[in-house]
Chains A and B, each alone.
Chain A
Amino acid sequence: MIEIEGLTKRFGARVAVNSLSLSVRQGEIYGFLGANGAGKTTTIRMLLGILAPDAGEVRVCGRPVRRGDRDGRMLVGAVGETQHLYSDMTCGDYLMFFAALYGLHDRAGRVAEVLADVGLLDRWSDRAQDLSKGLQQKLGLARALLHDPPVLLLDEPVSGLDPHGVREVREIIVRERDRGRLVFISSHILAEIALVADRVGIMQKGHLVYSDTVAGAIEKFETLEKAFVAVTRYEGSLLDLAAE
């Protein structure tokens, strides 16, 4: 599980995350929502331990997250919004490299397994950079699943994908939740979150302004979009929000 207590991060005078507290259970999909600059990516970086908070604590599976805690990162599989790939690597090379980094035995077997899981087994020998955005996103998911972590952190996993890609990624996310993983998704695509998430939290200017189950939010506000507008007093068009 993920436990965040009083998490705060400042960049100069700007407070990116302000006293954030939340918890997410194992086997749950948590949608972490907010406009750009709300503090989502900063929170994810602190969850990963690659950014140190100015105050507060984060625990993943009961283990405090510390900068430089290499072992702690083995509990988390993270996928960023854009997949940054090595230009000289095939899909197989890429995953074999990370499999070695994660210290896995039978690397080839495990890589084949995750590639099959995400539907990329036949792309083993293709250059990773030549894949479409959707396939690259799936490759990123495969990398995050390599070491079988209990927690998945996904930052905008369906951003820029076509409808087929969105559906495939959604299926993977739900399947991993069903396998018992905690899936923490940071996104501003409300419709997609409404389809997969069990619970949501809405960030605005570094504060968690709303937290509830998806069913509870829909019951109160009819749709997740209305919930977002209501709690954030968002003044822009929802289409603009989706396009950001």
Chain B
Amino acid sequence: MTARAPHVPALATVATIARREARAALSGLGVYVATSIAMVAATWLLLIDVRALRVEGLLVPADPYRAPLDVALLVLAFFFAVSAAVSTARDRETGTLEVLFFGPVDEITYCLGKVCGLLAVYALMMPVLALSLAALSLMSGLALPGSLGASLVFSLIPAAMVLSLGLVLSIGTRRVRSAVLILGGVALILVGGSAAYSIVLLVPIENPSSPVVALRDVLATVNGVLRWVSPFAYLQRIVAEGVAIGAWRSAAIAAGFALAASGAMIVLAAQWLRWRGVQKAGE
């Protein structure tokens, strides 16, 4: 006779893992420190306009918070990618991953729970960031843009993509340190590739046979690929180049791709976890 197994909806399992993840993140100081660091970066960039105003006595900035917000969100996104990587690697390192799978948890609910939990924390940090920016606006006198709310909300989409990347990269590692190093390396390549292109564009070209022309064209292709592949690029495309300046079509297209990519990465992470197994590292 086949016993009837009680059914736990998958969403409930995802929600439980997500809640656990969120509580663990919020109970530590890391997420608050990261938000403060993000604000320091934003303030440092805003100082460019503040100093210009002091010197010139007059300033008409298009959007003084565009670059500061872009950098702040980038810092936060990177922190959360590291959090996703560390959390998953730690689960495997401590053996708690296997214990979870004694219960009604499978690879996809585990991965979704991880991403949703950290995304919820990211969302909770948005009002904190907004409050800090409001205080900065009050002190500096430079008004916040009307698109700030929309920018923060829409940043959840590329944040989900960045989190998923952290998750994927950590599935293959055994240790927390390896996960952090791999994520750091990948982030360096993704962000550095775009930065290299921007730098090469500043180099003057004397003649058509200059090697700089070839380098520039190669980096242009690399940059073009990175704009579609790198989660950090999507943060810029959706927020700074999209919502902040009203380029809604570009933002919508990028958001659609980011959501699809997040889903694909979560599925990839789940499949990889299935292939690797959930045993504790070293067993």
- Indicate whether A and B interact: yes
**Beta-carbon contacts under 8 Å, A176-217 to B:** none
Tell me whether B8 is interfacial, beta carbon within 8 Å.
Answer: yes
Interface size class of B (residues with CB under 8 A): 35 or more
Tell me whether A68 is interfacial, beta carbon within 8 Å.
Answer: yes
Given contacts A63-B2, A70-B105, A101-B16, A86 and B277 within 8 Å (CB-CB):
no
Tell me whether A109 is interfacial, beta carbon within 8 Å.
Answer: no
Taking a contact as CB atoms closer than 8 A, the residue among B2, B12, B101, B278 that contacts A103 in the complex is B12
Task: Give the chain A neighbours of B96 by CB distance below 8 A.
Answer: 84-86
Given contacts A51-B277, A73-B103, A62 and B13 within 8 Å (CB-CB):
no
Q: Interface SS of chain A: helix, strand, loop or mixed?
A: loop
Most buried by B among A50, A51, A76: A50
**Beta-carbon contacts under 8 Å, A69-105 to B:** 70-78, 80, 82-88, 97-98, 100-103
Chain B nearest CB from A217 CB (Å) reads 30
- Give the distance in Å from the alpha carbon of A229 to the alpha carbon of B171 in the complex: 42
- Give the distance in Å from the alpha carbon of A87 to the alpha carbon of B24 in the complex: 10
- Give the distance in Å from the alpha carbon of A230 to the alpha carbon of B19 in the complex: 53
**CB-based nearest A residue for B103:** A101
**CB-based nearest A residue for B28:** A88
Taking a contact as CB atoms closer than 8 A, the residue among B1, B9, B19, B102 that contacts A48 in the complex is B102
Q: Assess whether B20 is in contact with A70, with CB atoms less than 8 Å apart.
A: no
Taking a contact as CB atoms closer than 8 A, the residue among A62, A67, A71, A84 that contacts B95 in the complex is A84
Chain B nearest CB from A95 CB (Å) reads 12
Given contacts A62-B2, A70-B13, A70-B106, A84 and B8 within 8 Å (CB-CB):
no
**Beta-carbon contacts under 8 Å, A138-166 to B:** 143-144, 147, 150
**CB-based nearest A residue for B100:** A101
Tell me whether A112 is interfacial, beta carbon within 8 Å.
Answer: no
Q: Assess whether B8 is in contact with A102, with CB atoms less than 8 Å apart.
A: yes
Given contacts A50-B277, A85-B96, A102 and B2 within 8 Å (CB-CB):
no
Taking a contact as CB atoms closer than 8 A, the residue among B3, B99, B100, B101 that contacts A75 in the complex is B3
Tell me whether B274 is interfacial, beta carbon within 8 Å.
Answer: yes
**Beta-carbon contacts under 8 Å, B92-134 to A:** 94-96, 98-107, 109
Tell me whether A61 is interfacial, beta carbon within 8 Å.
Answer: yes
Chain A nearest CB from B15 CB (Å) reads 8
Tell me whether B54 is interfacial, beta carbon within 8 Å.
Answer: no
- Give the distance in Å from the alpha carbon of A48 to the alpha carbon of B106 in the complex: 12
Given contacts A51-B277, A68-B274, A100-B16, A62 and B104 within 8 Å (CB-CB):
no
Interface size class of A (residues with CB under 8 A): 35 or more
**CB-based nearest B residue for A148:** B6
Given contacts A67-B274, A71-B6, A84 and B106 within 8 Å (CB-CB):
no
Taking a contact as CB atoms closer than 8 A, the residue among A51, A68, A74 that contacts B6 in the complex is A74
Taking a contact as CB atoms closer than 8 A, the residue among A45, A63, A74, A80 that contacts B104 in the complex is A74
Task: Give the chain B neighbours of A72 by CB distance below 8 A.
Answer: 5
Task: Give the chain A neighbours of B109 by CB distance below 8 A.
Answer: 70
Q: Assess whether B280 is in contact with A84, with CB atoms less than 8 Å apart.
A: yes
Task: Give the chain A neighbours of B277 by CB distance below 8 A.
Answer: 50-51
**CB-based nearest B residue for A79:** B102
**Beta-carbon contacts under 8 Å, A16-48 to B:** 45, 48
- Give the distance in Å from the alpha carbon of A6 to the alpha carbon of B17 in the complex: 35
Task: Give the chain B neighbours of A70 by CB distance below 8 A.
Answer: 8, 10, 13, 104-106, 109
Q: Assess whether A74 is in contact with B5, with CB atoms less than 8 Å apart.
A: yes
**CB-based nearest B residue for A99:** B16
**Beta-carbon contacts under 8 Å, A115-148 to B:** 143-144, 147
Q: Which residues of A contact B (CB under 8 A)?
A: 45, 48, 50-51, 60-63, 67-68, 70-78, 80, 82-88, 97-98, 100-103, 143-144, 147, 150
23 A-B interface contacts by CB (under 8 A): A48-B101, A50-B98, A51-B277, A62-B3, A63-B3, A67-B274, A70-B10, A70-B106, A71-B5, A73-B103, A73-B105, A74-B5, A74-B7, A74-B104, A83-B99, A84-B96, A84-B99, A88-B24, A97-B16, A101-B17, A102-B6, A147-B6, A150-B3
19 new A-B pairs (CB below 8 Å) besides A50-B102, A60-B3, A70-B8? A45-B279, A61-B3, A63-B2, A63-B3, A68-B274, A71-B7, A73-B103, A74-B8, A75-B3, A83-B99, A84-B95, A84-B280, A88-B27, A97-B16, A98-B103, A101-B17, A103-B6, A103-B8, A103-B104
Closest 4 CB pairs of A and B: A84-B95, A61-B3, A62-B2, A103-B8
Q: Which residues of B contact A (CB under 8 A)?
A: 1-3, 5-10, 12-13, 16-17, 19-20, 24, 27, 94-96, 98-107, 109, 274, 277-280
